[in-house]
Amino acid sequence: MAGAFLWDDRVRSAGLSVLAGTVAASLPLSNLVDAQPRQRARLLGSAASLLIDFSVDTAVDAIALVSTTLRSTDTVRTRVGALEGLVEAAPTFDLNLTAPATLVTPAGWAFNRASLGWDFDATGNLEQAAIDVARFDFDPATLACRGLLLEEARANAVRNPRAEGGTSGVIGSGGVVPTNWVVDALAGITVTYNGVVSENGMPCAEFRFAGTATGNLGVGADTWVGSYTTTSVASSVFCRRVAGSLTNTTCRMDSYGSGGVFTNGSTTFVPTAGAIATQRYATVGTATTPASGFRTAVRLSFAGAVDVTLRFAVFQQEAGPSPSSPILPPVGVPGATTRAADQTRITGQPIGAATLLIYCEGQAGLNTMVPGGYGPNNDFNNSSYFTIDAAGLGAWICISGGSSLSRTIAGAVGAGGIFAGGCSAAGIAFARNGTLSTQVSAFVVPSAMDRLSLGGSPWGNASAIGIATGVGVYQRWALYPSRLLDGQVGALGATGTTLVAAALAHDSGVVAADTNDAAQGNVVTLLSAPAVGRYMRVDLAAASATAIDVGRLVAGPLWRVSRALSYGVQEGREILDQRDRNPLTGAEFPRPALANPRFTRFSLAVLSSAEIRAQHRTMLAALAGAGEALWVPETTLTRAEMNQRSLWGAIASPGEEAAAMRDTPAGNARVFRIVERV
């Protein structure tokens, strides 16, 4: 196969910089274009990212790192394109709310909740959060952090979810159920109360049901409680099978009303022996006209001989389309308990043209939701916010002086997801879960916007800006200090990154360097076709290194010669080692050179007249004997072999008559001897 020359290095005249997180020290970045490869740039750490600005769109079909400290298992990634495809936009703040241990909140962060709250911790146990302390909820099954938990105010109407006040024993023969609890009697079934045990941080009431019967038996943490009008009523309990089996037994979560017009809720479930925190069962009833009360209970249906021990924790009844986090009264003070609303905000952030990003998970069953927004204090008519309506239609609404621009994107009812919205004097852009919608229209960006909120159940109230109530779990919250490009907003709404894949003309992906000392650490990348872009990014990673050294970075177009090399190619090393010999004794004293550079000698035969007059003539004029080029002997070699055989060196020597010879009617020939520069 034919070889190629990379001689028109476009990096030499480009702007060089490192990206955030990369430090060039002791050996400056300018050494990347120094003629001497061993005059290296030093990049501290085990990973580094370089950005090259060619100033104008430039064709690149070869990239080479010359004289590096990289090794075979280290990695390299090269990309060419527009800036938005290569570099993340810098946010004002970017909060990963699924990593509370490392979360650093910006100035102006504030959180309020006027009551205690509860969530599951990183070990899967229920924990209590103090007043005004944010809750970061973990999945009790996977122990992964779900994010910042924000909920509206809810009241648990069940008066004794801690199961206090009972006496262990057979019910009716000395055993007494906890205060305000009700366990129905069923002939043939003996119910034994085993008392309260703690599991996953929750107080659990344990009962054994044994005997033979056909019929139903209810276990409830109250009789008729709560008074509701035109609302859903969610009932829930944590339940685990401790011993025995569910043979001839069916479990059903019931929520049924008394008085007025109502619809009962009923859901069958199968408790297992798994951790109780992973087994929450719920059902939802509805009250249309005033209902004097609802009962929350587990209905056990028996059909023969049974023997099963069940554990129940945190019976909860609340107005809402789905259960919220557990709500418990203080120890020793049984009674209905209210958890106040969670409110979080960031103030003192000057906001003009901007882009807002929110990751959230909507509360189950919630038809409408406001993920969040920003604006001035107490001024709804100059704010911007996301919303989801009862039909699942998501919107980004930007208001200025009461006039608004808005874009909408359909989605699932009650669903959260990724929301990104940008606003500037030129219009707005909205992206939701990978779909982008834009509006180009003149818009006066309001002044004095300085606060952001997550959630916003009362966002339409003027006083709500900056004190909105969140509803759901929030994973990420970010603000960018400019209206990003439409493509960047779309990327944010799809993947959470501002990098626009369509803005890339070339992306090698992360590949092994496949190099070593014998190859002088060279890493050569040939593109299948020229990539045109103003910027180039090079990412290096060497896991075991404390620094990465690079002698030269070169990139540009290739001269792919039209004919293969003639027979007689020589490849080897120019031996610079010395062996001194004592003329009297014959003793030898070898002295190794710092390096024995690789060399190659080859002939390019049958070059076309066009190649001689264009590429060869221009290359020779530009480089002569002082400049260097990269010679690639075969463009189809594996990366490891290409690194071993490609040489960076002079294409002519001082005093050489570097000429092409017209040796056949069909073409020309040129003999090269290239010694790598070390």
What is the three-class DSSP state of 238? strand
- Residue 161: Cβ-neighbour burial (10 angstroms; 0-12, 13-18, 19+): buried
Per-residue pLDDT averaged across 40-58, rounded?
96
User: pLDDT confidence of 617, banded at 50, 70, 90?
Assistant: very high
Please give the Cα distance from 468 to 477 (Å, whole number). 15
Query: Which amino acid is located at 197 in the chain?
Result: V
- Residue 310: Cβ-neighbour burial (10 angstroms; 0-12, 13-18, 19+): buried
pLDDT at 461: 46
Question: Which ranges of 504-657 does DSSP label H, i.e. alpha helix?
Answer: 609-611, 617-623, 639-645
User: pLDDT confidence of 416, banded at 50, 70, 90?
Assistant: confident
Q: Is the pLDDT of residue 469 over 70?
A: no
Please give the Cα distance from 400 to 441 (Å, whole number). 13
132: left (phi over 0), alpha (psi -120 to 50) or beta: left
- With helix as H, strand as E and coil as C, how does 170-221 read? EECCCEECCCCCEECCCCCEEEEEEEEEEECCEEEEEEEEEEEEEEEEEEEC
Q: pTM of this prediction?
A: 0.85
Q: Is the pLDDT of residue 516 over 70?
A: yes
Q: What percent of the chain stands above pLDDT 90?
A: 72
- Which range is most confident: 321-335, 355-369, 466-480? 321-335
Please give the Cα distance from 286 to 562 (Å, whole number). 80
pLDDT at 453: 87
Please give the Cα distance from 362 to 359 (Å, whole number). 10
pLDDT at 510: 97
Per-residue pLDDT averaged across 170-182, rounded?
95
Closest to 519 in 3D by CA, of 358, 396, 383, 646? 646
Please give the Cα distance from 522 to 69 (Å, whole number). 9
User: Which of residues 462 and 372 earns the better pLDDT score?
Assistant: 372
Per-residue pLDDT averaged across 133-149, rounded?
96
Q: Is the pLDDT of residue 459 over 50?
A: no
- CA–CA distance from 115 to each of 149, 226, 323, 419, 457 (Å)? 14, 20, 18, 30, 19
Kindly give, in sequence order, each residue whose CB lies less than 8 Å from that of residue 166, ignoring residues fewer than 6 positions away. Answer: 175, 176, 177, 178, 179, 181, 193, 195, 196, 205
Please give the Cα distance from 391 to 516 (Å, whole number). 60
637: left (phi over 0), alpha (psi -120 to 50) or beta: beta
Please give the Cα distance from 600 to 3 (Å, whole number). 13
Largest separation between any pair of C-alpha atoms in the chain: 122
User: pLDDT confidence of 381, banded at 50, 70, 90?
Assistant: confident
Strand partners, 212: 305
Please give the Cα distance from 72 to 432 (Å, whole number). 42
- Residue 5: Cβ-neighbour burial (10 angstroms; 0-12, 13-18, 19+): buried
pLDDT at 470: 60
> What tens digit of pLDDT does each residue of 570-585 get?
999 999 999 999 999 9
Q: Write down the residue that tokens 């690789």 correspond to.
A: 598
User: Which of residues 453 and 244 earns the better pLDDT score?
Assistant: 244
Per-residue pLDDT averaged across 131-154, rounded?
95
> What tens digit of pLDDT does each residue of 278-336 get?
999 999 988 888 888 888 999 999 999 999 999 999 999 998 888 999 999 999 999 99
pLDDT at 222: 76
Mean pLDDT over each residue of the chain, to the nearest integer: 91
Please give the Cα distance from 513 to 66 (Å, whole number). 12
Please give the Cα distance from 226 to 286 (Å, whole number). 12
pLDDT at 457: 46
User: pLDDT confidence of 467, banded at 50, 70, 90?
Assistant: very low
> What tens digit of pLDDT does each residue of 25-46 get?
888 999 999 888 888 999 999 9
User: pLDDT confidence of 413, banded at 50, 70, 90?
Assistant: low
Closest to 403 in 3D by CA, of 461, 364, 446? 446
User: pLDDT confidence of 52, banded at 50, 70, 90?
Assistant: very high
Q: How many helices (H) and strands (E) does the chain have?
A: 4, 48
Closest to 551 in 3D by CA, of 580, 522, 519, 573? 522
Please give the Cα distance from 229 to 668 (Å, whole number). 95
pLDDT at 463: 43
